[in-house]
Structure formats: C-alpha cells, structure tokens
C-alpha cells in the first residue's frame, strides 16, 4: 500500500501498521503522530516483514527459487 504525505496519510500509516503488527489501530494511535512512543520490538517486526517482502519480490522476479517442500505454515 502506498500513500502520498498529506491528508489521510497518518490514517493510512496506522492501518498498515495495524495490519502488519496485528495490533489495534487504537493502540497504534497512542504511539503519537510520529510513533515515538512505539515499543522497540515493532521496529524488528517491521524489518522482518520487509525482508520477507524482499524475498517474495526476488522469487517473483525469478532471481530466487524457494523449494516448496521447505515452506511450512
């Protein structure tokens, strides 16, 4: 999901953070408008999500092959 900074940008950010972390939007709103009151673990969680997205993009582009028998739920 992408959004340009401006009207509604904070709401989009909160929704994406909520979807990614599994936390409620209300919890994330309590972190402040610049998210300075967020827990430290959130940065690690977002980094892991980003790495997984990068791996997925590499696989979709054909630059990486992940054997299906190595994937687990």
Q: State whether residue 44 is helix, strand or coil.
A: helix
Number of residues that this document lists for the chain: 73
Average pLDDT value over all residues in the chain = 90
Q: Give the side-chain half-sphere CA count within 13 A for 30.
A: 6
* Distance (Å, whole) CA 23 – CA 13: 13
Task: Note whether 43 and 36 are within 8 A (CB).
Answer: no
Higher pLDDT, 47 or 64: 47
Higher pLDDT, 66 or 39: 39
Give pTM, 2 decimals: 0.74
Give the model's pLDDT for residue 66. 83
Which tens digits make up the pLDDT trace of 9-34? 999 999 999 999 999 999 999 999 89
Q: Give the side-chain half-sphere CA count within 13 A for 39.
A: 10
């Amino acid at each position: 999901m992408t959004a340009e900074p401006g009207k509604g940008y904070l709401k989009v950010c909160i929704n994406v953070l909520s979807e990614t972390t599994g936390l409620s939007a209300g919890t994330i709103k309590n972190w402040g408008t610049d998210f300075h009151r967020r827990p430290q673990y959130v940065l690690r969680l977002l980094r892991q999500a980003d790495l997984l997205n990068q791996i997925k993009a590499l696989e979709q582009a054909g630059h990486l092959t992940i054997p299906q028998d190595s994937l687990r739920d």
